[in-house]
Amino acid sequence: MNELNDKTRRHFIKNAVTGVAALSLGGILPGFSAKSYGNIMGANDKIRVAMMGVNARGLALANNFCIQPNCEITYICDVDSRAADKCIGQVEKSQNKRPKAQPDFRKALEYKDVDALVVAAPDHWHAPAAILASKAGKHVYLEKPCSHNPNEGEILLAAANKYKNVIQMGNQRRSWPNIVAGINELHAGVIGRPYFAKTWYTNNRPSIGIGKETAVPSWLNFDLWQGPAPRMAYKDNILHYNWHWFWNWGTGEALNNGTHMVDIARWGLGVDYPTKVTSAGGRYRYSDDWQTPDTQVISLEFGNKASITWEGRSCNSRTIEGASVGVIFYAEKGSMQIDGSNGYKIYDLNNKLVKEVKNDTNVDARSLTNPSQALDALHINNFFDAIRKGTRLNSDILSGHQSTLLVQLGNIAQRTGTTLDIDPKNGHILNNKEAMQYWKRTYQKGWEPTV
C-alpha cells in the first residue's frame, strides 16, 4: 500500500466507503462493480455477522459492516432494547434485510447463520465475549482494548491458539494507507534509527457527578450488561459512556484512547514487551464518581533500545504539536509525527519540514463513535479477507494483546504507585506482589472465562 500514488490511494478509500470495497489492501478487478463482484463470489459467500453492543461505537460499526459487499448482519445483540431497535432500523435500510434482535449474544453464538461476532460492548466484556465466540467456532472483530486485564489477554491468546479462529482487534490505524506508508518509511530508515516515541490524547470531558442509586430502567438488562464483572448497584451516571471511568467495567483513558497511539508507537519502534513501567497522574479536575485518572503520563522503557510515553488529559483539551491526538517518533536524523488523521510529517534535526503526506479523508479524532468510517472499512475488509482467504491480519490478537498490555501495565503502575520491573520475554511483572493483585480480576461467580 505504501507504493500507491496519491490518486490511487484516494480512489481506494472512496471505493471502500461506497461498498466497492478493496479486500484487505488488495482490490476488486478493474471494471467490476460491487454487484458483479458479488455474483462472482456467490450469494452464499456473505459473511454473516452478529453485532454485540450497538449503542454508540457498535452502532457506527454496524453501519459500516452492513455496507460492505459480501457481508450481512443477521443479529443485533444489545441489553438496551432502545439501542437494539435503533440499530436494527438503520441496518435494515442499508442492507435491505432486517436483522433479528437477540439480546443475549451467547444465544446468537449457537446459530448457524452467524459466522463472526463483532464485540463493541464495554471493556469488561471484550475478552470474555471473544473467548465464548472462539469456543463456538466464530470469528471475532474485537474493539480495543482486547481485554480488561492482562490475565484475560493471555486467556484470549490461548483460546485463539486452541480454536484457530480469526480475531482482529479494532486498532484500525493499522489499516489506514498513509499510516502504513509512514511506518514503512520509518522502518526503511527515513529518519535513521527511532529510539523514542511520545504519544498523547486530549479532550475536555465534563464531570460525571455523583450518581444516585435508582431502579434499573425497563429497557435495560443490567445483569447481562454487568456479565462477568462483580455486581454493583445501578446508578444513573454509569450508562452509556461513563462506565469507562469505573475500574469495575472500564479501563480509563489510557486504554480507551491511549491504546491506539501506543500501538502505533510500539509498531514503529519494533518493540514487544517493556523492561520498566511507571505512571503519574490522578483524578484531578473534578470531585465526582470518576475513578480512573483524568490526567496521566505513562512511561515505558524497553531496555537500552527505546522508550514510549503516553500523556492523557481527559479534562484539558490543549493540543500537543497542533493535534488533539498523536505520536511523534524521535530518531537519529529527525522526527516523524502522526496525528489523528491519515497522514504524517517528517522533520529533519533542524526542525525543517522535509515531507508531508496529507490526510485525504475526513477524520474527527475526538468523535466518540465514528471518527473515520471510510478508513475503518479497510480494517473490516482485512478481517473478511483473513476469514475467506487466510490473508494476514493487520492487527492479529497477539499484536493487539501486546499493545493493550503496555497501557494496562501503566494503569497497574498508577494504581500501586510503584515502578514495575517487567520480563521483556513475556511482559510479566517481576517481584511485585502488590502489582500482581491487578494482573487479573475477580469475576461474578459462574462467569469466569475459560479456554
Q: Predicted confidence band at 227 (pLDDT cuts at 50, 70, 90)?
A: very high
Cα distances (Å, whole numbers) of residue 312 to 269, 329, 383, 438:
20, 17, 30, 21
Cα 96 to Cα 74, 91, 199, 377, distances in angstroms: 12, 8, 42, 19
How far apart CA 82 and CA 299 sit, in angstroms, is 41
pLDDT of residue 20: 29
Closest by alpha carbon to 281, among 257, 315, 246? 315
The residue-averaged pLDDT of 299-308 equals 97
Separation of alpha carbons 336 and 353, rounded Å? 10
Give which of 229, 275, 239, 255 is closest to 441, Cα–Cα: 229
Mean pLDDT of 404-432: 98
Share of the chain above pLDDT 70, in %: 88
What tens digit of pLDDT does each residue of 368-412 get? 445 578 889 999 999 999 999 999 999 999 999 999 999 999 999
**Domains defined for the chain, CATH in brackets:** 6-174 (3.40.50.720), 189-365+397-436 (3.30.360.10)
Q: Prior bond to 139 cis, omega within 30?
A: no
Q: What digits encode the pLDDT tens for the residues 126-150?
A: 999 999 999 999 999 999 999 999 9
Q: Is the pLDDT reported for residue 366 higher than 70?
A: no
CA distances from 450 to 127, 131, 385 (A): 10, 8, 28
| Assigned C-alpha cell, 76 | 443485533
